[in-house]
Amino acid sequence: MKDFKALQKKIGTDFKDEQLLITAFVHRSYLNENSDFKEHNERLEFLGDAVLELVSTDYLYQNYPNPEGELTSWRSALVKTETISDAAKSLGFEDYLFMSRGESKSKGRARQLILANSFEAVIGAIYLDQGYDAAKEFISKNLLKILPEILEKKLYVDPKSQLQELAQRKESITPKYEVLEESGPDHARIFKIGVFLEKRKIGEGEGMSKQLAQQNAAENALKSYK
């Protein structure tokens, strides 16, 4: 049994309509196996995504005098799937997800995406139930707080660019990317891509597009290739 009262305490929000919060955790796949649930979280996610973008943009504008290009890069790093997924994990959101039996076995990028979507859906639920200021407080407490780390570690720099610069400096080699595997149905393909220095594989990553898989492969390669 999922204890949504405990979750409300954890996130510091006392919902007037608890069903909004519950819906934020309902993955589309769950409806296929559970007729008692009528709505999944994609509409809430759509709303929460917009609120998240506004709050993060406003925060960056109000606190940093940097040019638009830099602020855009910082915002992208702050609201990307991996960052939001980590925030959802730290709040224990995995324990509250409603998914089909098949989807509950998902790992890697697919699970990251589900968690990130639930985080945005929770933002949408808070916005509808409590208003903009409450949604802003939730985002500030759980996401904006990591901005200093993003800036200090330059996590906003494109990982493919970082890896190329590093490989060319160390070995005068340009990384190459190759598709290792494709899986999933046509409407939701998952690509696994390897990044190579000549014939040596230094990392791999998954994504719902080849570009995203390449970014993740480069990011994973950077962890070991120093």
Question: On the CB side of 85, how many CA atoms lie within 13 Å of its CA?
Answer: 12
Q: Is 101 exposed, middle or buried (0-12, 13-18, 19+ CB in 10 A)?
A: exposed
Residue 98 near residue 30 (C-beta atoms within 8 A): yes
Q: Catalytic: 165?
A: no
Q: Would you state the structure tokens that stand for residue 105, as one six-digit string?
A: 């076995």
Q: Catalytic: 36?
A: no
- 45, 49, 204, 206: the catalytic one is 49
- 45, 103, 120, 204: the catalytic one is 120
Residue 26 near residue 107 (C-beta atoms within 8 A): no
Active site residues: 49, 120
